[in-house]
Structure 1
Amino acid sequence: MRTMLESKTNRVVLYVSAFLVIVLVLFALLRDNADPITLKEATKILEKHSVKSVVATQEYVYLKTDKELYKIAASQVSPKMFIDYEVKVKNSSNVIVYLLLLVLFLGFGALFYRWFQKNSIFKTQEAKETRGHYASEQSGPIESIKSDVTFEDIGGISDVKSELEEIIDFMKKPKRYKSFGARMPRGVLLVGPPGVGKTMIAKAVANAAGVPFYYQSGASFVQIYVGMGAKRVHELFVAAKNNAPAIIFIDEIDAVGKKRDGQRNDEREATLNQLLTEMDGFENSSGVIVVAATNKIDVLDSALLRAGRFDRRIFVELPTNKERALILSKYLEKVPHEVDVSAIANMTVGFNGASLAALVNEASLLAIRQHDFQVTIDHFHQVKDKVMFGKKKLQILSPKQKEYRVTYQAAKVICATYFDLPFEKLLLSNEKLTPATDEPLLQHELESRVKMLLAGVVACAIRYHEHASSAKGDLDEAKEIVEKMITEYGMGSSLMASQNEKEILMQKLYTQTRELLESLQSVMSDVERVLNERESITKQDVKKRLDAVL
């Protein structure tokens, strides 16, 4: 680099020097160095006959002697003064001057062309260097990271921890296992929905075992340059083996480990082949364990899942009520609060660990915005739907539309409370009341959810004989549940569903919902009044009103 800079500097100095030489030559040639004289002095010089030549221009007459050169204004002399001399008439044009000017012009043109050419080359080189830098950056030296995550930092994973303790103990005391001829699994696959803490679990294992932790995402192996992904995999395993015992963690392994169809051999498949080869190349004494995470185990290649590669699979599910309470307790340790953790756990059915962290953070930010001294249960009620469903702009409703909306939401909240569905508070602006769940549910629980979803449409039909288009989301979910109940869960009149079984079940649930709401018109009116005034109502408030009439 230093040599290149010196060479460039020398060229610049050379160009500047040449330019200065040309300027100096032009200055010397164009400079008029004749001494100006008066008419009297010119007459004396001519009378002495010491003038060798006389040159006349448009402005001056030049008298040249052996030693000096004089000039006198042409307007001061007369032709009679030079009767004894040959007068040469000099044109204003000078061939030498023009040649030098041409040289100067060509020099500037050459410099400009050189500069343009250099810039073009530079840009091309820069593009190549950028691409090369990207490739080298991606394939740069792989270094381990030190994990500061402990199992105490992760709440509600007691089952997962017990599965991993054996691996931690093996990495700490490998001789104990080898003496029994046992070998630990070469790979551990963490399977679970997004946000349940799979990455944190892997980091906690590395921290507990006290070994180097090599983290890579599956997407980082899929390169646009052929062979780079496979090279990256090889470098990762070499680095881990050189620092064994160690843990390699590949996050979102489905990005590189998808099933091969055999019809093409692209970069992803080459990378997967390299990964399979590296895992086969493990010696029992290598001391390297591969931990991978995915939420799509069904798309992984079968060769990746066979024994000898990812021998052990650990399913990390959504936290239970008790586990949610433990996770919330962890996140609330540094938050000034006055809340019952179990109450928040009850209202967060379907939340994963990441969602619970976001919930606590949003509640804290709301408390700060409202200038409160501590976080309360009301803050959690206000931000729960924002975390669960996302913040949506409240639609501007006309008085008539709001009237329909109030009736629709009142019916839903009454049914949800009557059937004791999991929710804590309803807002008039919310489209959804409770989150959908894939947990095993009994038939009557599924029917209760469908009734809640139909309640708004039923109430509007009773009151107004029509409903709004905003019911689409609830109707779609109700139809989906009924579809699964009949075709997948065998909850119809027989295990082999008939052609019109879904329609029969939907009509039955609609009729039962109508009968329920017609019997609770007084509660409907009361809840509608509250929603009109406050635009929100809690499950506890609705329960009190139901208990009063039931």
Structure 2
Amino acid sequence: MSGQGEMNSEMRVLENAGGRYRKLWSVLKWIIYLFVFISCGSILFEKYNFPAGPASKEFQPIIGSKTTFKDVMAVDEAKAELEEIVQYLRDPMPFTRLGGRLPKGVLLVGPPGTGKTMLARAIAGEAGVPFFSSSGSEFEEMYVGVGAKRMRDLFSAAKKRSPCIIFIDEIDAIGGRRSQNDIGSTRMTLNQLLVEMDGFKQNAGIVVIAATNFPESLDRALVRPGRFDRLVVVPNPDVEGRRQILGSYLSKVLLSNDVDVMILARGTTGLSGADLANLVNIAALKAANDGAKAVSMADLEHAKDKILMGTERKSAVISDKSRKVTAFHEGGHALVAVYTNGALPVYKVTIIPRGMSLGMVTQLPDTDETFVSKQQMLARLDVFMAGRAAEELVFGADEVTSGATSDLKEATSLAVAMVTRFGMSKEIGLVSLDSEEYGKRMSSGTRLLMEKEVSEILANAYRNAKIILRSHGKELHALASALLQHETLTGSQIKALLARVNSEMHHQQQQNFA
């Protein structure tokens, strides 16, 4: 009986094991069927170009654009280059009668806010042709193939409205350099754009205009002749351009009699057209909030300070010791800037917290800069190091603070650029170590030499700052005291203060000599 029971038990174990194997095989079969189904579906989608995601929207043009070249200021050179495109869109025959052809693509390059989009609209407005507008991010989708399909839809809609303009903003979103590690959808979108611009089928009568802030990141096949074969630089406006832009925006608000547009234009070096529009808007809102009848020069100066230096944090609670350290730190920056050849003029110094900073020194050039000399770069390094140097001279080496963090970061970046990009290194010479090809082949010895050169440049700047501050110690203390009392000083006030201190010192020396 026991033998029979053991046999029955073994049979039940085998039956249970067989049942588990059958269930496992059933699950595996369903997994195999699902894999085969998905693979076949993907092949069919790719072969017959079925939509892999939601259907693309129909692109609608802007017809009758009101924007013209008169509305775009401070880019006269760019407008002159684009005038040829306008004439071609109006009447292509005079340009093609001798066998020539106009560029198929125009790449607008420049910093943000310089009016690249408005310039493209102005071309359409001047030529009186339809204007298709899109951005690089609109072609990016989680579904593979949707971006390429949208690109085809865009050019298909443009063909029906030819002659016309296609404008693609921020084209670097889809036109970046290709590599083996790129996502398939990104390569497909860029490949489709390349084919549409200069493929087997020609798109006559369509001018593609694109804008980017990073032209160096674009794929080489995109910017070759036959596609984007004309590059138009749209830079930040110069002083005359800023005067025109400010005059245009200020004409739309009520102004007091003390507003001088030219003075405002000279003090806004480096600001873009969008920054200037924002400046006027901030000033108008402040004047309205204060209950003023018109926008004054003080309102515009307040708006300029807010853009250049950040918003004041008047509610911040700062200890007396921190205020004193900040006053000597910022006073050191300002004093070295005054007594260093090649340094930019001091516009304003403040120890009122603005943004993330407890204090700030703002410098503005007298004229627009087209390049920066080695003397000017060395002067900037001296000014960067002056805040830490002032702390050490006044409070001691063990009492220096972390307030020089951003100064050291900026100084290091500039020193590295001088050595690796600008060829201003005595040891390394006239070599651009910043280039991609050279960087791959750079030896460890060259890297050590580069780091040594950067350290020496920064150490020299720190020594220069300490020498200047030691020789002008009384002026440093007077400047710090004035900052503690008034919190903010302009460049002209600083010059007057230093002149008074020097006069008193000279008078004291004469008395001592007598």
State the TM-score bracket (shorter-chain normalisation): 0.7 to 0.9
Write out per-residue CA displacement over residues 20-71 of structure 1, whole angstroms, 9 at most, x where no aligned residue: xxxxxxxxxxxxxxxxxxxxxxxxxxxxxxxxxxxxxxxxxxxxxxxxxxxx
Match runs of 1:271-286 below 5 Å? 271-281=189-199, 286=204
Aligned equivalent of 1:377, options 285, 297, 311:
297
Post-superposition offset of 1:477: 0.9
Q: 1:317 aligns with which of 220, 235, 247?
A: 235
The alpha carbon displacement at 1:475 in A equals 1.6
Cα distance between partner residues in 2 of 1:433 and 1:145: 49
Change (3 A) 1:224 1:444: same
Q: What residue number does 1:446 align with?
A: 377
TM-aligned CA distance change 1:504 to 1:330, over 3 Å: same
Q: 1:399 is matched with which residue?
A: 320
Residues 513-532 of structure 1 show CA distances to partners (whole Å, capped at 9, x for unaligned) of 22222333333233223322
Q: Aligned equivalents of 2:167 and 2:346: distance in 1?
A: 38
What is residue 477 of structure 2 aligned with on the other side? 525
Question: Structure 1 402/390 Cα, relative in aligned 2: closer, same or farther at 3 Å?
Answer: closer
SS of 1:375's equivalent in the other structure is: coil
Runs of 5+ in structure 2 lacking a partner?
Answer: 1-50, 430-448, 504-514
Q: Is the 8 A contact 1:245 1:287 kept in 2?
A: yes
Deviations 1:396-451 (A, max 9, x none): 21111111111111222233344551552222124443479996311111111112
- Contact 1:153 1:330 (C-alpha < 8 Å) held by counterparts: no
SS in 2 for 1:279: helix
Contact 2:427 2:453 in 1 (8 A): no
Q: CA deviation at 1:228?
A: 2.1
Please report how far the alpha carbon of residue 499 of structure 1 lies from its aligned counterpart in structure 2 after TM superposition.
Answer: 6.1
- 5 Å-filtered alignment, 1:10-159, equals 135-136=54-55, 138-159=56-77
Q: CA deviation at 1:335?
A: 2.2
Structure 2 CA distance, aligned partners of 1:543 and 1:413?
10
Q: Which residue does the alignment assign to 1:426? A: 349
- For residue 68 of structure 1, what is the aligned residue in structure 2? none
Q: What letter is aligned with 2:350?
A: L
The residue aligned with 2:133 is: 215
Count of residue pairs brought into register by the alignment: 417
User: What amino acid sits opposite 1:479 in the alignment?
Assistant: T
Please tell me the residue identity of whatever aligns with 1:455. Answer: A
RMSD: 2.7
Cα deviation 1:152-203 (Å, max 9, x = unaligned): 2222101111110111111112111122222110000111122211111111
CA–CA separation in structure 2 for the residues paired with 1:226 and 1:213: 28
Query: For 1:132-281, what aligned pairs fall within 5 Å after superposition?
Result: 135-136=54-55, 138-263=56-181, 266-281=184-199
State whether residues 244 and 288 of structure 1, in contact with CA within 8 Å, keep that contact through their aligned partners in structure 2: yes
Q: Which amino acid aligns with 1:249?
A: F
Alpha carbons of structure 1 residues 306 and 460: separation in structure 2 relative to 1, 3 Å: same
Q: Structure 1 residues 220 and 418, CA, compared in 2 at 3 Å: closer, same or farther?
A: same
Tell me which residue corresponds to 1:12.
none
Residues 471 and 545 of structure 1, relative CA distance in 2, 3 Å threshold: same
Deviates more, 1:338-347 or 1:306-315: 338-347
Q: Tell me how far apart the structure 2 counterparts of residues 499 and 521 of structure 1 sit (CA, whole Å).
A: 33
After TM superposition, give the deviation of residue 375 of structure 1 in Å.
2.6
Look up the SS of the partner of 2:222 in the other structure.
helix
Cα offset for 1:310? 0.7
Computing the radius of gyration over CA atoms, which structure comes out larger, 1 or 2? Answer: 1
CA contact (8 A) 1:346 1:422 kept: no
- Residue 329 of structure 2 aligns with an amino acid whose one-letter code is Y
Quote the Cα distance in structure 2 between the aligned partners of 1:222 and 1:541: 54
Q: What displacement does 1:218 show?
A: 0.8
1:547 Cα deviation after fit = 4.1
In 1, Cα distance between equivalents of 2:496 and 2:309: 28
Change (3 A) 1:322 1:433: farther
CA contact (8 A) 2:197 2:203 kept: no
Letter of the structure 2 residue corresponding to residue 275 of structure 1? L
Give, in whole Å, the separation in 1 of the partners of 2:183 and 2:347.
53
In structure 2, distance between residues paired with 1:217 and 1:435: 36
- Check conservation: 2:159, 2:203, Cα contact below 8 A: no
More contact order relative to length (CA 8 Å, sep ≥ 6):
2
Per the TM alignment, residue 345 of structure 1 is displaced from its structure 2 partner at its CA by 2.2
SS in 2 for 1:256: helix
1:479 to partner: Cα distance: 2.0
Shift of residue 533 of structure 1?
A: 2.2
Contact 1:418 1:543 in 2 (8 A): no
Alpha-carbon distance, 1:393 to partner: 4.1
Pair 1:300 & 2:218 matched: yes
SS in 2 for 1:311: strand
- Partner of 2:54, secondary structure, is helix
2:47 alignment counterpart: none
Alignment partner of 2:263 out of 338, 343, 347: 343
Q: CA deviation at 1:472?
A: 0.6
Partner of 1:30: none
- For residues 117-137 of structure 1, the C-alpha deviation after alignment (integer angstroms, 9 at most, x for no partner) is xxxxxxxxxxxxxxx9x934x
Alignment correspondent of 1:26: none
Match for residue 407 of structure 2? 474
> CA offsets per residue over residues 362-416 of structure 1, 9 Å max, x none?
1221222222233333323323343245436464211111111111112222333
**Ranges in structure 1 where 5+ consecutive residues have no aligned partner:** 1-131
Q: Structure 1 residues 389 and 220, CA, compared in 2 at 3 Å: closer, same or farther? A: farther
In structure 2, the partner of 1:486 is 419
User: How far does residue 508 in structure 1 lie from its aligned partner after superposition?
Assistant: 2.4
Measure how far apart 1:541 and its partner are. 0.8
State whether residues 142 and 235 of structure 1, in contact with CA within 8 Å, keep that contact through their aligned partners in structure 2. Answer: no
Deviation, structure 1 residue 501: 3.0
CA distance in 1, matches of 2:180, 2:467: 59
Deviates more, 1:417-426 or 1:300-309: 417-426
CA separation of 1:503/1:301 partners in 2, compared to 1, >3 Å: closer, same or farther?
closer
The code of the aligned residue for 1:401 comes to S
Shift of 1:281: 4.7
Residue of 409, 412, 415 corresponding to 2:330: 409
C-alpha separation between the residues in 2 aligned to 1:250 and 1:500? 45
Residue 502 (structure 1) aligns with? 454
Q: Which moved more, 1:172-181 or 1:434-443?
A: 434-443
Please report the TM-score for the alignment, with normalisation by the length of structure 1: 0.70
1:448-478 CA distance string (max 9 Å, x none):
1112211221112121113221211112111
Is residue 345–residue 364 contact of structure 2 (8 Å, CA) maintained in 1?
no
8 Å Cα contact 2:334/2:346 also seen in 1? no
CA contact (8 A) 2:349 2:362 kept: no
Tell me, in whole angstroms, the C-alpha distance in 2 between the residues paired with 1:253 and 1:200: 16
Question: In structure 2, how many angstroms separate the alpha carbons of the residues matched to 1:260 and 1:502?
Answer: 34
Q: Give yes or no for contact 2:89–2:205 (8 Å, CA) kept in 1.
A: yes
Give the aligned partner of residue 359 of structure 1: 279
Q: Is the 8 A contact 1:381 1:424 kept in 2?
A: no
Describe the SS at the equivalent of 1:249: strand
Query: What secondary structure sits across from 1:500 in the alignment?
Result: helix
Give the deviation of 1:140 after TM superposition.
3.1
Distance 1:547 1:435, change over 3 A: closer
